[in-house]
Structure 1
């Protein structure tokens, strides 16, 4: 199996772990750089996060989406250490708001671990639903 295919499998395993409520820790590098599109003053989940920050973001999303989210992978493209995934994410917030967003993730994988994740999404919609209880 090529490195590109191995890296693609790491990313698919990440989505599998996160989607099932599992723990993706084994797939995350200690120095993970996780970035979410947007301006933090307008969308509090936006900006750069460490591995610890990634878990804080997941905690906020989990609190606001108590029944979880459904992530449908529409496309995955991998070359070398880069893996790009186009998704549709659906769910219902704790307050009953529908969450329907198209999200593109750009992953960098090294030695079987995610070292960088960049997430591009409709930040206005995400702010209205996912960050409604973030100060």
Structure 2
């Protein structure tokens, strides 16, 4: 298992992009927490444990076509077990409409796995995009 925090984040994002939820589960700690750092999205600001995230993700990703949304890491900065990742998300919903967003995610990495993920994005764009396809 990768131990360099940047490599752990790269492996985690790769597993998400491939929708390999078994691998995602291997790459998170038992006390993992995922928080969408927003005020105006359903479920935001409520930390989600790994088990819950792994149950919620397939339903959310089912809104997208078979390739799913893809997260492209554009910059990684690491210090003291934390990795800040600037990224672009893109994909197509099942109805063919495009999705594109920008992210700044904070990953806490411990013992070669992700302990916490705090996700920042353009929440207005996300809400508008998802509302249009639901």
User: Same fold by TM-score, threshold 0.5 exceeded?
Assistant: yes
Q: Report what 1:103 is aligned to.
A: 103
Alpha-carbon RMSD across the aligned residues, in angstroms, is: 1.7
Give the CA deviation at 1:52. Answer: 2.1
- What residue is the counterpart of 1:59 in the other structure? 58
- How many Å apart are 1:20 and its aligned residue? 1.6
Offset at residue 123 of structure 1 (A): 1.0
Q: Which residue in 2 is equivalent to 1:88?
A: 88
Contact 1:37 1:123 (8 Å CA) reproduced:
no
Residues 25-46 of structure 1 show CA distances to partners (whole Å, capped at 9, x for unaligned) of 110111111100222xx41242
Equivalent pairs counted in the alignment come to 127
Residues 53-103 of structure 1: per-residue CA shift (max 9 Å, x gap): 322441232111133012221100111200010001111112332111001
SS of equivalent residue, structure 1 residue 44: coil
Q: Is the 8 A contact 1:89 1:100 kept in 2?
A: yes
Point out where structure 2 has 5 or more consecutive residues left out of the alignment.
none
Contact 1:75/1:86 (8 A) holds in 2: yes
Is 1:10 aligned to 2:21, yes or no?
A: no
- CA distance in 2: counterparts of 1:15 and 1:7, whole angstroms: 12
Unaligned runs of 5+ in 1: none
**What is the distance in 2 between the residues matched to 1:31 and 1:129?**
31
Change (3 A) 1:20 1:72: same
Is the contact between residue 93 and residue 129 of structure 1 (CA under 8 Å) also seen in structure 2?
no
